[in-house]
Amino acid sequence: MTVETTIELKVEPLTKDAFKPFGDVIDKEASDYFMINNGSTRRYHRMADVDVADNGGVPIISIFQATPLTYPLQVQMMERHPLGSQAFIPLLGRPYLIVVAEKGEDLQPQALRAFFSNGRQGVNYHKGVWHHPVLALQPDDQFLIVDRAGEGNNCDEVYFDEFTKVILSLDNLPKVD
């Protein structure tokens, strides 16, 4: 007899320390800066590294326009990019969700973590980090994407079996500051 497993993800606030195993948080409010352009501009320098050179890859910039999924969401799949990092930077200042798991060949649903961005924070997934595709919370949300173009397979997907239910709910979201 097969036993059904249900995992309810707890959504955590997105912080640099909590997200460190998965990548970088791109957040000027939590970053140092220095002045440039004769003192008229703050430069929040090197907030994340673009890692795309494997197999002759080159960095590209794209815009994703995303539609919200239906919540509570049953997380059925995760993806990773083994040849390059991938950054998501919100363009419209709207909160969104992030579901991730650390690098590795054997993705376990129990290892998933969920984060809530206040809409002013972007993320840069490190190469090989498992993540759910973009999780917008409002219609027509937009994200600037910095990732890889080039030869080789740079997207692996894993689907959970029908006996494993990972649920992402909008109940009890962290407060937006």
How many CB atoms sit inside 10 A of residue 72's CB?
13
Q: Confirm whether pTM is higher than 0.75.
A: yes
**Contact yes or no for 67/139 (Cβ under 8 A):** yes
All domains in the chain, ordered by first residue: 5-168 (2.60.120.480)
* Per-run averaged pLDDT (10 residues), the chain, 177 residues: 88 97 97 97 97 96 98 97 98 98 95 98 98 98 98 96 94 85
Give the pLDDT of residue 177. Answer: 66
CA-based R_g, the chain, Å = 17
Give the pLDDT of residue 176. Answer: 73
Beta bridge partners of 24: 124
Q: Which amino acid is at 20?
A: K
Give the pLDDT of residue 175. Answer: 85
The Cα–Cα gap between 128 and 48 comes to 16
